[in-house]
Amino acid sequence: MKAHKKEMVTAQAPGKLMLLGEHAVVYGRNCIVTAVDAPVRASVSPSDEFYFDARDLGFSQAVDVRESDFPKQVAFAAFAVKNFCERFSITAPVRIATESIVTAGRKVGLGSSASVTAATIVALSHFHSKNMSRQEMFELAFKTVLDVQKVGSGFDVAAAIYGGTLLYRRGEPAPLKCDKLGLVIGYTGIPASTVDIVRQVAESIRNQPDYYEGLFDEINRIVINGKKAIESENWQALGELMNQNQGILRKFRSPSESCGVSSEILESLIKAALDAGAYGAKLSGAGVGDCMISLAPEEKQESVADAITKAGGTVISCLANVPGARIMGEGN
């Protein structure tokens, strides 16, 4: 076995928030995603066996990475190791330790599965001195996420690897210049399963394909206008587009006939934010639960946050438009 030059390598990858375009992006349309400061770290070190440590999830044990049915706490990291080792024909075992730096990030739907996958691949690539481009790391991480959860557009993986704010179409991230996004984020208190919701929507599409094609085209138009609004820093226009996007998400016929992929709690947080002076507000992600986002002028952000709290939400403070996955350090 070739001796490793490095003792331990740690990488960190950010979380994500969908600004515009969820669901439609699964069907080939564009979306806009921003990377948020809810990072996950992965450390790789030499070991006698493939060993996984996700202490914040109560998991610490050896895992056979030749398998593909992994314990759910480490499924993304383990599949990332499996795919990386297969890609580079590596057999030397490693120990992988993962942790969510903002613990809440794991629970509120800010993309920890994609982040842990990205951080693991970036750390492995550095540890094994493989000079992978961002696109190569993105492709391997996206494959890994699909291996585990079978569905998804990869927008969260793109945010984790590239960071910043991206116009994204399946497999094609394009960075957008976006410095002053005044987001106020509200967590509904209800964890949502992206995979379940995406499957429910897929079922509904099977029954009414033309109806959904129309909605997705409309969302795509909103996203393209959103790109222009961001580029010209027209926040009022971006807020209005967020409201239009939310209006279309309500027209989905699944999971709920009356409000689509939205829900009562999302609607009350969105209304509270708008009443308190936000330019625009919408759900962010698959819907039903997890988070809503609102865009507000600086002087209104505090009252919007108070209104979200009064309506029963938890305000999540984290920066948007943060850098993508990077190496944090090497050594013991």
| Residues labelled catalytic | 156
User: b or e along 237-276 (b: 16 or more beta carbons within 10 Å of the residue's beta carbon)?
Assistant: bbbbbbbbbbebbbebbbbbeebbbbbebbbbbbebbbeb
Does the footprint of ligand MEV cover residue 14 (CB under 6 A)? no
Whether residue 192 contacts residue 292, with contact meaning beta carbons closer than 8 Å, is answered with no
Q: Give the nearer residue to ligand MEV in terms of CB position, either 283 or 307.
A: 283
Q: Give the nearer residue to ligand MEV in terms of CB position, either 9 or 33.
A: 33
Q: How far apart are CA 226 and CA 241, in angstroms?
A: 7
Does the footprint of ligand MEV cover residue 18 (CB under 6 A)? yes
Per-residue binding string, ligand MEV, 154-193, x by CB under 6 A, is -x--------------------------------------
Rounded to 5 degrees, what are φ and ψ at 310? -60, -30
CA distances from 237 to 32, 157, 226, 233, 272 (A): 15, 27, 8, 9, 19
Q: How far apart are CA 14 and CA 158, in angstroms?
A: 10
Per-residue binding string, ligand MEV, 276-295, x by CB under 6 A, is ---------xx---------
| 149-157, 205-213, 240-248, 319-327 -> range binding ligand MEV (CB under 6 A) | 149-157
Find, among 104, 135, 185, the residue nearest to 324 by Cα: 135
* Residue 74 tokens, joined: 């480490």
Q: Exactly one of 83, 153, 262, 301 binds ligand MEV (CB under 6 A); which one? A: 153
| 20-28, 180-188, 204-212, 215-223 -> range binding ligand MEV (CB under 6 A) | 20-28
Q: Give the nearer residue to ligand MEV in terms of CB position, either 27 or 235.
A: 27
Which helix (H) or strand (E) is 230 found in, with range?
Answer: helix 209-231
Q: Give the nearer residue to ligand MEV in terms of CB position, either 9 or 291.
A: 291
Residues that bind ligand MEV (CB under 6 A): 18, 22-23, 25-26, 152-153, 155, 194, 198, 285-286
